[in-house]
Structure 1
Amino acid sequence: MTDLHFPWRRLLLCAAPLFALLAGCDFGSHKAAAPAVPTYTAVNWDALPATSDDDLLAGYGAWYSACKRLANDATWGPTCAQAPALPATPAQVRDFLKNTLQVYGLRSADKGDKGLITGYYEPVYPGSLTQDAEHPVPVLGVPDDLIIVALDSVYPELKGKRLRGRLDGHVLRPYDDSAAIQTKGVNAPVLAWLRDPMDLQFLQIQGSGRIQLDSGRQMRIGYADQNGYPYKPVGRWLVEQGLLKKEEVSMGRIRDWATANPQRVPELLASNPSYVFFSTRPDSNEGPRGSLNVPLTTGYSVAIDRKVIPLGSLLWLSTTRPDGTPINRPVAAQDTGGAIAGEVRADLFWGTGDAAGELAGNMKQSGQIWLLWPKGQALPGPH
Structure 2
Amino acid sequence: MTGGIRAALLTGFLLAGTMSAAQTDPTYRIMEFSDLDGWAEDDHASALSVFLDTCGDLDDPDWRSLCGLARDAGDARAFFELFFRPVLISDGEDALFTGYFEPELDGSLRPDARFRYPLYRMPQDARDLSPWLTRRDILTSDVMQGRGLEIAWVDDAVELFFLQVQGSGRIRLPDGRVLRVGYGGANGHPYRSIGQELVRRGTFQAHQVSAQVIKNWVRANPSEGQELLLSNPSYVFFREVNEVPPHRGPLGAMNRSITTLRTVAVDPAFVPLGAPVWVEKGGQIPLHRLMIAQDTGSAIKGAQRADIFFGTGDAAGRRAGQLKDPGRMMVLLPIQRAYALLPDHVL
TM-score normalised by length of structure 2: 0.83
Q: Which runs of 5+ in 2 are unaligned?
A: 8-15, 342-347
- Across the aligned residues of Structure 1 and Structure 2, the Cα RMSD in angstroms comes to 2.8
Cα gap change, 1:248 to 1:285, in 2 (>3 Å): same
Cα gap change, 1:66 to 1:37, in 2 (>3 Å): farther
SS in 2 for 1:307: coil
Residue 376 (structure 1) aligned with residue 333 (structure 2): no
Q: Give structure 1 regions of 4+ aligned residues with deviation exceeding 4 angstroms.
A: 31-38, 185-188
Counting aligned pairs with the same residue, the percent is: 37
Query: For residues 32 and 67 of structure 1, what CA distance do their matches in structure 2 show?
Result: 30
CA contact (8 A) 1:4 1:230 kept: no
Cα offset, 1:34, TM superposition:
4.2
Name the residue aligned to 2:55. 67
CA contact (8 A) 1:38 1:343 kept: no
SS in 1 for 2:55: coil
Cα gap change, 1:326 to 1:233, in 2 (>3 Å): same
Cα offset, 1:249, TM superposition:
1.6
Query: For residues 336 and 36 of structure 1, what CA distance do their matches in structure 2 show?
Result: 20
Measured against aligned partners, the alpha-carbon deviations of 1:80-106 in whole angstroms (never above 9, x if no partner) come to 1222446x4xxx323322332232212
Name the residue aligned to 1:221. 181
CA contact (8 A) 1:230 1:338 kept: no
Cα gap change, 1:121 to 1:6, in 2 (>3 Å): closer
Query: For residues 334 and 267 of structure 1, what CA distance do their matches in structure 2 show?
Result: 36
Q: Which runs of 5+ in 1 are unaligned?
A: 8-27, 148-165, 168-172
CA contact (8 A) 1:36 1:341 kept: no
Cα offset, 1:176, TM superposition:
2.9
Name the residue aligned to 1:335. 295
The size of the alignment, in residue pairs, is 325
Query: For residues 214 and 228 of structure 1, what CA distance do their matches in structure 2 show?
Result: 33
CA contact (8 A) 1:315 1:330 kept: yes
Name the residue aligned to 1:49. 37
Name the residue aligned to 2:154. 194
Name the residue aligned to 2:11. none
CA contact (8 A) 1:178 1:273 kept: yes
Cα offset, 1:193, TM superposition:
0.9
Query: For residues 35 and 370 of structure 1, what CA distance do their matches in structure 2 show?
Result: 17
CA contact (8 A) 2:5 2:166 kept: no
Bigger proportion of residues as helix: 2
Amino acid at match of 2:306: A
SS in 2 for 1:308: coil
Name the residue aligned to 2:10. none
Residue 4 (structure 1) aligned with residue 4 (structure 2): yes
CA contact (8 A) 2:27 2:89 kept: yes
SS in 1 for 2:78: helix
SS in 2 for 1:365: coil
TM-score normalised by length of structure 1: 0.76
CA contact (8 A) 1:319 1:328 kept: yes
Residue 316 (structure 1) aligned with residue 278 (structure 2): yes
Cα gap change, 1:273 to 1:316, in 2 (>3 Å): farther
CA contact (8 A) 1:116 1:364 kept: yes
Name the residue aligned to 1:39. 26
Name the residue aligned to 2:134. 177
